Amino acid sequence: MSDVPTCLFIGNRCHGEFAAAVRDLEACLHSRFVETLEQAIALLSDEELEPALLILARIRPGDISARQVDRLRRAAPLARVVELLGVWCDGELRTGEPLVATIRVPCHLWKSWFQREAAGDGNYNTGPEGVRLTSNSLPAWSWPVTASVDERLLANRAAMQRQVGLIAIRGCDADGAAWLTQVCQSVGYTTVTFESAPTTKIVGATAGIWQAGIRHPAHWTDLAAFIAALAPAPVTCVMSFPRPEEIERAISAGASYVLAQPLLIDDLLSALLPASFGVGPMS
């Protein structure tokens, strides 16, 4: 029997926001794809399929009900439910009725999450628990369904190794720069902050973080200047609820990643790891 887990993807695999996830699942896991929950339940009933992951690809809040998910769980009780969320689901935790006991992964954080939890270098070659097994830790889907976000974060931080390197930070304001500095220094990085994009070349930076709050046209000029000053060091953009066209614009400007605020500290730190360089945008 193969050690590679099986994944059942439920949703529109052709939707643009899900393209990166579909590519990774096809390359790294035994993946099956269906359009609807009814098709998924029928497949689970008719075939000897025992997926480790049930990925619900969601475009908008409310498109899947808790009752539907309960039916899905009864059909595959050992599988963990992962929500792959489009940008319109960003505010669901505050304004909607989010599903319970699922792992929520926004599309723009997929690359970070999948690399950390499963794929490593992009080739699933480390056994059924992915790269986490090599660091005496388990991927998120191996945790009990009752594990809270806080518990998963504490476990992730305990496994995080100390880092070395210089991170250049361009915060959207003093508070933003201070928060990003604190996060980076907490794992060993040294930092340098800029109130505006530097006009001269920055030599020796491991990576950069560029943060934006409310966008206006001048931000894109500032981002381009920051990327040029740090090149060839990768730059991660941190934006409040970026829309797809903004993500595309940041990537076109040369950003390596785009992360949406609010975000998890682990996702930001994962974007700064050398193993992440070259993985591609989290979009």
| 92: Cβ contacts below 8 Å, ≥ 6 apart | 61, 85, 98
Closest listed residue to residue 226, CA positions, set 249, 265, 195: 195
Name the residue with higher pLDDT: 283 or 197. Answer: 197
Mean pLDDT of the chain: 82
Enumerate the domain spans of the chain.
Answer: 6-158, 166-276
Summarize the confidence of residues 72-99 as an average pLDDT.
86
Proportion of the chain above pLDDT 70, given as a percent: 80
Amino acid code (one letter) for 75: A
User: Is the entire prediction scored with pTM above 0.75?
Assistant: no
d(CA 79, CA 282): 25
Whether the per-residue pLDDT at 11 is higher than 90: the answer is yes
Quick one: pLDDT at residue 274? 60
Quick one: pLDDT at residue 157? 61
Q: Do 6-158 and 166-276 agree at the fold level? A: yes
Give the H/E segment covering residue 266.
helix 265-272
pLDDT band at 189 (very low <50, low <70, confident <90, very high): very high
Query: How many CB atoms neighbour CB 129 within 10 A?
Result: 18
Please state which CATH number belongs to domain 166-276: 3.40.50.2300
Name the residue with higher pLDDT: 244 or 101. Answer: 101
Quick one: pLDDT at residue 7? 92
Whether the per-residue pLDDT at 192 is higher than 90: the answer is yes
280: alpha, beta or left? (left if phi > 0; alpha if psi -120 to 50): left
Domain 6-158: give its CATH architecture: 3-Layer(aba) Sandwich (3.40)
pLDDT band at 196 (very low <50, low <70, confident <90, very high): confident
Closest listed residue to residue 82, CA positions, set 67, 99, 63, 61: 99
d(CA 189, CA 167): 7
Token digits of residue 146: 């009752």
d(CA 151, CA 133): 18
- Highest mean pLDDT pick, 83-92, 107-116, 222-231: 222-231
Whether the per-residue pLDDT at 17 is higher than 50: the answer is yes
